[in-house]
């Protein structure tokens, strides 16, 4: 009986252990199943593994000048594609040396590196080191997400294993180098090299390669622009690792260390930005929504643009300014919309301001078409119509003078009298023929430039005159292609229309020449200036000069953004004429 009792207790004990083991096993299996289902769920949430290699981004626009030279890109976030096979070895060696020295030996995950990172982080009590391989970092960059979630890490591991199964190590390194973001949201070491050093990744020196590799730990914190001391200190660590791993010699490392320096990204003040903003608006008006990368061939002359921008900045002083230059056929070869794009992105070439006396050629064209000549006599004396009785700028009257003298001295009474004789409607119709009549007021003040217009429109008036009286339609784009070089748009010039008769044009050219040789525009004169006209609005709020050379017509505006008066010494014949002279002399 005693033995039976003991056997019964023993069986009960074994039964309890079996139930406990079974329970633990079931719990384990349930946990494994739940974990498996979670991993499956996370996997199903991932995008197509093939699609992650083709990142979604806004289309880029590359702007080129008239000679096909790239002047700026808009929205292009990736540099030129680089590869282990087309880079100097020290470029990718610097990256491998500091980021994952056993990259070519381990698989998607470095268990040694992970264990070392975990131990170090536990020992220091905070996150001090990461164990991610270059493959894992590549997966992270392709996903373009920085969320610190378990699901995010699982996706990263799945993708890392997929990358390792599909690509060889060199291809993974290529992906990494072309996707890493280091400067201003742009991706790829080529984009970073261009921004920091002014040349592509294929031209990077050992020192520059070390400085790029130094940024991989934390691009902003180790930037050679923002934190040059930290960047240089870590770059020296990179060079030491390259020596330790037999990528470069000690002598090469020492030479490279002496070349480490701070990088300075030049500020894009205004050289091309006003222009490319203007061209982008033109693209959108022609093509609507942009859904692919575009290469836009523009009419800009980079050499003239640089001279225009520099001259404006050197002379503008406390005021603001804008300049546009147009060739005979309407090609815009230069456009500078202000002194500093980084301060204000408003393009003053398109601003509506009062042109003052710069509008007077429209009135004189009406007179010339009605039989007057530069030698015809007119009477400069006080003029009033109703309550409107404007005076000459210096309140001086010359009496009987020729039409050419009245124009050169920019008197106010003569164009008003001409308008009264030929009718305000004749003036407005002439402006419409020249392409600028849309917003003009049917008032006598319009004759003296009180109706607002843009510098581009005003310059177009003079372009028609210097195009021998034929129509001019300003344009900025000659051709647009896709990334493969296929033409999407090509300018098809419209037939020119005769706006002014040859005799009228010749007489007007005489008048404009008198302005720069004997009149208010003398400061603009050089032997290659064929003529021009000054303009100053009420209270010296706007000052203008529009002149021509054998190659182009150029309009210059000076004023204030708040429309307050400038110094009484600033007229169209002073600062704008001087700026024009400095550009074309």
Q: Token pair of 297, please?
A: 């061939």
pLDDT of 156 reads 66
pLDDT of 183 reads 86
Residue 106 burial (CB < 10 Å; 0-12/13-18/19+)? middle
pLDDT of 164 reads 77
3-state SS, 382-399, equals CCCECCECCCCCCCCCCE
- What would the pLDDT profile of 137-165 be if each residue is shown by its tens digit? 877 776 545 555 545 566 667 676 777 77
Distance between CA atoms of residues 406 and 517, nearest Å: 14
Contacts of 201 (CB under 8 A, 6+ apart): 79, 80, 82, 87, 91, 177, 188, 189, 190, 192, 193
pTM, two decimal places: 0.74
Question: Around 421, how many Cα atoms within 13 Å sit in the side-chain half-sphere?
Answer: 17
The residues with which 353 forms a beta bridge, in sequence order, are 453
Q: For tokens 């470029």, what's the residue? A: 91
Distance between CA atoms of residues 465 and 454, nearest Å: 18
pLDDT tens-digit profile, the chain (585 residues): 545 555 655 665 566 666 666 656 655 565 655 545 544 544 555 555 555 555 555 688 989 999 999 888 887 667 778 999 999 999 999 999 999 888 888 866 655 555 454 444 444 444 444 458 888 887 777 654 555 554 556 666 767 677 777 788 898 899 889 888 888 778 899 989 988 998 889 999 999 999 999 999 999 999 999 999 999 999 999 999 999 999 999 999 999 999 999 998 766 656 899 999 999 999 988 888 888 889 999 999 999 999 999 999 999 999 999 999 999 999 999 999 999 998 899 999 999 999 999 999 999 999 999 999 999 999 999 998 888 888 887 788 999 999 999 999 999 999 999 999 999 999 999 999 999 877 899 999 999 999 999 999 999 999 999 999 999 999 999 999 988 889 999 999 888 899 999 999 999 999 999 999 999 999 999 999 999 999 999 999 999 999 999 999 999 999 999 999 999 899 999 999 999 999 998
Question: Strands 487-490, 477-482: parallel, antiparallel or unpaired by DSSP?
Answer: antiparallel
Q: Where are the strands (E) in 283-346, listed by range?
A: 294-298, 320-326, 332-336
Domains and CATH numbers, the chain: 85-259 (1.10.3810.10), 311-578 (3.40.710.10)
């Amino acid at each position: 009986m005693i033995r039976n009792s003991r056997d019964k207790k023993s069986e009960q004990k074994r039964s309890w252990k079996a139930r406990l083991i079974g329970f633990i096993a079931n719990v384990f299996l349930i946990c494994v199943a739940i974990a498996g289902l979670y991993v499956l769920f996370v996997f199903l949430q991932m995008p197509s593994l093939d699609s992650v290699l083709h990142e979604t981004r806004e289309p880029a626009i590359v702007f080129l000048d008239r000679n096909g030279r790239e002047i700026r890109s808009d929205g292009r976030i990736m540099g030129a594609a680089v590869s282990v096979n087309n880079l100097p070895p020290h470029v990718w060696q610097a990256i491998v040396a500091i980021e994952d020295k056993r990259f070519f030996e381990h698989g998607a995950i470095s268990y040694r590196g992970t264990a070392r990172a975990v131990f170090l982080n536990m020992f220091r009590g905070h996150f001090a080191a990461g164990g991610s391989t270059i493959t894992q970092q590549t997966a992270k960059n392709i996903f373009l997400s920085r969320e610190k979630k378990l699901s995010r890490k699982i996706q990263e591991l799945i993708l890392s294993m997929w990358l390792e199964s599909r690509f060889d190590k060199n291809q993974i390194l290529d992906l990494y180098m072309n996707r890493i973001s280091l400067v201003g949201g742009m991706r790829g070491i080529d984009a970073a090299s261009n921004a920091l050093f002014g040349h592509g990744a294929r031209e990077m020196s050992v020192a520059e390669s070390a400085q790029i590799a130094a940024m991989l730990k934390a691009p902003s914190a180790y930037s050679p622009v923002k934190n040059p001391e930290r960047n240089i200190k870590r770059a020296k660590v990179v060079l030491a690792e390259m020596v330790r791993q037999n990528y470069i010699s000690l002598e090469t490392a020492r030479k490279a260390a002496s070349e480490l320096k701070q990088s300075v990204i030049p500020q894009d003040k205004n050289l091309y930005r006003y222009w490319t903003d203007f061209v982008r608006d033109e693209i959108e008006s022609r093509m609507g929504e942009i859904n692919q990368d575009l290469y836009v061939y523009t009419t800009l002359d980079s050499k003239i643009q640089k001279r225009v921008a520099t001259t404006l900045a050197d002379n503008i002083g406390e005021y603001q300014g804008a300049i546009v230059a147009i060739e005979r056929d309407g090609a815009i070869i230069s456009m500078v919309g202000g002194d500093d794009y980084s301060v204000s992105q408003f393009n003053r070439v398109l601003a509506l301001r009062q042109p003052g006396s710069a509008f007077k050629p429209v009135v004189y064209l009406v007179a010339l078409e009605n039989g007057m000549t530069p030698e015809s006599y007119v009477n400069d004396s006080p003029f009033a119509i109703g309550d409107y009785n404007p005076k000459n700028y210096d309140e001086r009257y010359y009496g009987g003078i020729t039409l050419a003298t009245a124009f050169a001295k920019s008197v106010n009474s003569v164009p008003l009298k001409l308008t009264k004789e030929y009718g305000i409607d004749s003036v407005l119709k002439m402006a419409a023929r020249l392409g600028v009549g849309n917003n003009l007021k049917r008032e006598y003040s319009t004759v003296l430039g009180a109706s607002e217009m843009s510098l581009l429109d005003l310059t177009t008036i003079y372009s028609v005159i210097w195009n021998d009286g034929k129509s001019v339609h300003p344009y900025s784009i000659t051709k647009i292609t896709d990334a493969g070089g296929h033409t999407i748009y090509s300018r098809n010039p419209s037939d020119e229309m005769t706006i002014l008769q040859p005799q009228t044009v010749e007489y007007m050219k005489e008048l404009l020449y008198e302005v720069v040789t004997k009149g208010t525009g003398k400061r603009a004169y050089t032997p290659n200036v064929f003529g021009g006209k000054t303009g100053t609005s009420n209270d010296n709020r706007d000052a203008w000069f529009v002149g021509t050379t054998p190659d182009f017509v150029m309009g210059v505006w000076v004023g204030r953004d708040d429309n307050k008066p400038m110094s009484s010494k600033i007229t169209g014949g002073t600062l704008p004429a001087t700026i024009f002279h400095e550009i074309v002399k």
